[in-house]
Amino acid sequence: MKTRFLIALASQLALFSAVHAQQKSDEIRIVTLDPGHFHAALVQKNMYPQVSSKVHVYAPQGADLQMHLGRIQAYNQRAENPTKWEEVVYSSPDFFEKMVQEKAGNVVVMAGNNLKKTEYIKKAVDAGFNVLADKPMVIDAARFGLLKQAFEIAAKKKVLLYDIMTERSEITTILQRELSMLSSVFGVLEKGTPSNPAVTKESVHHFYKYVSGSVLTRPAWFMDVAQQGEGIVDVNTHLVDLIQWECFPEQIIDYQKDIKLQSASRWATDISLSQFKAITKLPDFPAYLHKDVVNDTLLKVYSNGEINYTIKGVHAKASVIWAYKAPEGGGDTHYSIMRGTKANIIIRQGAEQAYKPALYIEPIQESKLYQTQLEAAFAKVQKKFPGVTLKKITKGWEVEIPEKYKDGHEAHFGLVMARYLEYLKKGALPKWEVPNMLAKYYTTTQALELAKTKGK
């Protein structure tokens, strides 16, 4: 188990030991709703203090449910640090109604088909459940109002509605944020222009990928944007979230005043029938995908999108690209630049970095004075992250990060859960989280509307 997750668990143990006498009443009981995405299982890759080992699952019968249960079983049976989850399954057609009727848990985890997710979220909080939902919470502008209602209901019923933002736990992103808050290193964030934004985030993903050591079997509906959502509202959720979280740390974003869309675009990734078979294990395209199939053999998936907008007057760009399969030795990649008046802070993850994220500080004007100021300021970072160092390179510095901090994407789900458990214990999210979730989903869903209008 990785260092940061151990620290998070230790924090949870300390937090909950203070209320040991109320152990039973405070116990967290997870309910998993219709787990069609592998993220639902990753939330249970580890055990947590104060969380019951019995998890009730409500879902329709089918391959999605069986794959989810298979992943949980694999965690229970692994040689190193096996989990001890007990899955209690209800799989009749009235699964959602049964979940509400039985109320066997107090936290609903949702990660699956996004077509009904916003409706499920609203109904779950209306029934008094806390909800931890995978992104995206909403995939189109028509349902944005429903999500807003869900947050209003959650506030009235004093339950916590939260989405799973794993990328906030990635170490290069954390350090990029830390460095941007050091004025002697970064200066202040530029305003940028539409052609040269102050902050740019680009993410490349792949349909064919490995999860927990095995090739991931994708459900066919994952390639149906009517059910999964287009890329501009799906993966871009992470990028828009990071722009808010890094550029305006712990500040409230008012989507009605602070967000202004400039332009947006969308385009398709072509998936051949043979590729589709390889990632779904199905013999042919199902009927609901025929609307997106050309010449009976080529599926066009609108999984790519770009958003250009301003947030509090700062020009930003967020773009996502999906390819079928990564190059040999590669995987999903991330590029991010924050442009400051004194330096640009950049994350690169290409072939030069062996497809591993690396962080760079590139000063606008390098000098002895700047180096002295950087080294002095960086000492503050080293106190928070012991072992992190600076390496001089041609264009500036690379931030060298010890392996203990590089815990990988799958471990980040445990870190998100640990944070959420702390919020549940306190009974509240940070004040900026809810308005900023609304701002994030307003940005993505309105961008989709703009991109579709442009394409007409």
> Tell me, what CATH number does 130's domain have?
3.40.50.720
Task: Give the pLDDT of residue 216.
Answer: 86
- Between the CA of residue 182 and those of 43, 186, 243, 373, 394, what are the distances in Å? 33, 6, 17, 10, 22
Is 435 inside a domain boundary? no
Element at 205 (helix H, strand E): strand 199-208
Beta strands 314-325 and 199-208, pairing class: parallel
Same structural domain for residues 255 and 399?
yes
Q: Residue 236 has what pLDDT?
A: 96
Same domain, 161 and 256: no
How many distinct structural domains can be found in the chain? 2
Q: For the chain, which ranges sit under pLDDT 70?
A: 1-25, 455-456
Same domain for 126 and 241, yes or no, is: no
Would 107 be classed as within a structural domain? yes
Q: For residue 327, is it within any domain? A: yes
Residues 130 and 186 in one domain: no
Query: What is the enclosing helix (H) or strand (E) of 338?
Result: strand 333-339
Question: Which residue type sits at 11?
Answer: S
- CATH number where 327 lies: 3.30.360.10
Among 316, 218, 217, 335, CA closest to 258: 316
Q: Return the pLDDT at 432.
A: 98
The residues near 182 (Cβ < 8 Å, ≥ 6 apart) are: 377, 378, 380, 381
Residues 274 and 422 in one domain: no
Q: What is the pTM of this model?
A: 0.91
What pLDDT digit, counting tens, does each position of 130-150 carry? 999 999 999 999 999 999 999
Residue ranges making up the domain that contains 53: 3-166+411-426
Q: Is residue 379 part of a domain?
A: yes
On whether both 232 and 242 belong to a single domain, the answer is: yes
Contacting residues for 50 by C-beta, under 8 A, at least 6 apart? 12, 16, 23, 26, 27, 28, 421
pLDDT at position 430: 98
Residues 114 and 127 in one domain: yes
pLDDT per position as a tens digit, 216-238: 899 999 999 999 999 999 999 99
Phi-psi region of 313 (alpha: psi -120 to 50; beta: other; left: phi over 0): left
The verdict on 208 and 227 lying in the same domain is yes
* Residue 443 included in any domain: no
Q: In sequence order, what are the beta bridge partners of 443?
A: none
Question: Closest by alpha carbon to 441, among 141, 152, 202?
Answer: 141
pLDDT at 9: 53
Q: What is the pLDDT of residue 105?
A: 97
Residues 20 and 40 in one domain: yes
pLDDT of residue 4: 59
How, if at all, do strands 343-348 and 54-58 pair?
unpaired
**155 and 247 co-located in one domain:** no
Nearest alpha carbon to residue 184 among 315, 383, 380, 359: 380
Interhelix angle for 171-180 vs 368-384, to 10°?
A: 130
Evaluate whether residue 444 is within a structural domain: no
Examine residue 436 and state whether it is found in any structural domain, yes or no.
no
Instruction: Quote the pLDDT of residue 17.
Output: 46
State whether 214 and 136 are in the same domain. no
Same domain, yes or no: 98 and 43: yes
CA 412, CA 317: separation in Å to the nearest integer? Answer: 24
Neighbours of 213 (CB within 10 A): 7
Determine the residue type at 321: I
Decide if 228 is inside a domain: yes
Nearest one of 3, 35, 1 to 404, comparing CA atoms: 3
